[in-house]
């Protein structure tokens, strides 16, 4: 299976805590966050990676090269900022064949079974399946409305209250479902592409998972992530240098 990782984040909110690097390259327990993320999914069976990159993409390419942990790595490089949706559409042009593809937010770690995600996707013949988690942080994540079968009916806007179930930033996607989207323009996958897909009547499925979830986008969660990964093999107490 191919995996696309959306790794073009600027990391503006993290500047007080991390160097001026792309957000997915923020050092966690002596290694870039992106390294932990890649190795987690490669261990579950991902066979090729496409990194959707933009801001300071040279740092990402220098670190990971053309392969990581035996997994080939390719790069979809934005010549101008395209957002998560535009970056995804650019990366999809590198898929051969355009089969069901894992899509990951490059600043989010979610402990989800790839086998369970594939089972849910196939069982419901979904265009896209989202891994969902319980939200503990008001205002940072978009809630979802599900029917009894787990189909996503609506993506709620962010608000000051915590939604019970939110998008966890892990997707299994049939690329043909996005054939109607315009490439080369700035789009948000969460705010533009997904709502249009739902409105079109395509099957957008949700899978609620109970695994660990964290988004490193703010300093508090970035520090919490250090504690998580600092206890795992491969962690180091020194700062990563790249």
Q: Would you say residue 236 lies in a domain?
A: no
- Look at the chain and report how many structural domains it folds into: 1
The residue written with tokens 């790595």 in the block is: 73
pLDDT tens for each residue of 128-153: 999 999 866 655 677 899 999 999 99
Q: Would you say residue 238 lies in a domain?
A: no
Q: What percent of the chain has pLDDT over 90?
A: 60
Residue 146 near residue 152, CB atoms below 8 Å: yes
Domain span including residue 222: 2-230
Mean pLDDT estimate for the chain: 86
pLDDT of residue 39: 93
DSSP H helices, 47-189, are: 57-64, 83-92, 114-123
The domain spanning residue 210 has which CATH number?
Answer: 3.90.550.10
**Higher-pLDDT residue of 108, 161:** 108
Q: Would you say residue 192 lies in a domain?
A: yes
pLDDT of residue 231: 72
Give me the DSSP letters along 173-241: E-GGGGTTSPTTS---IIIIIHHHHHHTT--EEEEE--S-EEETTSHHHHHHHHHHHHTSTT--SSPP-
- Cα angle value 131/134/135 (rounded, 5°): 115
Q: Would you say residue 129 lies in a domain?
A: yes
Nearby residues of 227 by Cβ (< 8 Å), 6 or more positions away: none
Q: What is the pTM of this model?
A: 0.90
Q: Which H or E run includes 42?
A: helix 33-42
Q: Would you say residue 237 lies in a domain?
A: no
Q: Which residues share a beta bridge with 48?
A: 2
pLDDT tens for each residue of 106-133: 999 999 999 999 999 999 999 999 999 9
């Amino acid at each position: 299976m191919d995996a696309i990782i959306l790794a073009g984040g600027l990391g503006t909110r993290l500047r007080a805590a991390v160097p001026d690097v792309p957000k997915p390259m923020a050092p966690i327990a002596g290694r870039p966050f992106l390294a932990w993320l890649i190795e987690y999914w490669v261990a579950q069976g991902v066979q090729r990676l496409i990194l959707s990159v933009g801001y300071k993409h040279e740092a990402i390419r220098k670190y990971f090269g053309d392969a990581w942990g035996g997994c080939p790595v390719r790069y979809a490089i934005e010549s101008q900022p395209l957002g998560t949706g535009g970056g995804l559409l650019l990366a999809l042009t590198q898929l051969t064949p355009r089969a069901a593809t894992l899509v990951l937010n490059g600043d989010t770690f979610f402990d989800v079974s790839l086998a369970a995600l594939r089972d849910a996707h196939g069982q419901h013949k979904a265009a896209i399946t989202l891994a969902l988690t319980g939200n503990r942080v008001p205002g940072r994540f978009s809630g979802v409305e599900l029917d009894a079968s787990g189909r996503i009916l609506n993506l709620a806007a962010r608000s000051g209250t915590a939604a019970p179930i939110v998008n966890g930033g892990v997707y299994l996607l049939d690329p043909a479902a996005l054939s109607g989207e315009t490439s080369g323009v700035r789009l948000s996958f969460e705010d533009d592409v997904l709502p249009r897909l739902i409105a079109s009547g395509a099957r957008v499925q949700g899978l609620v998972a109970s695994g660990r979830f964290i988004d490193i986008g703010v300093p508090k969660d970035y520090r919490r992530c250090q504690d998580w990964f600092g206890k795992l093999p491969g962690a180091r107490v020194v700062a990563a240098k790249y």
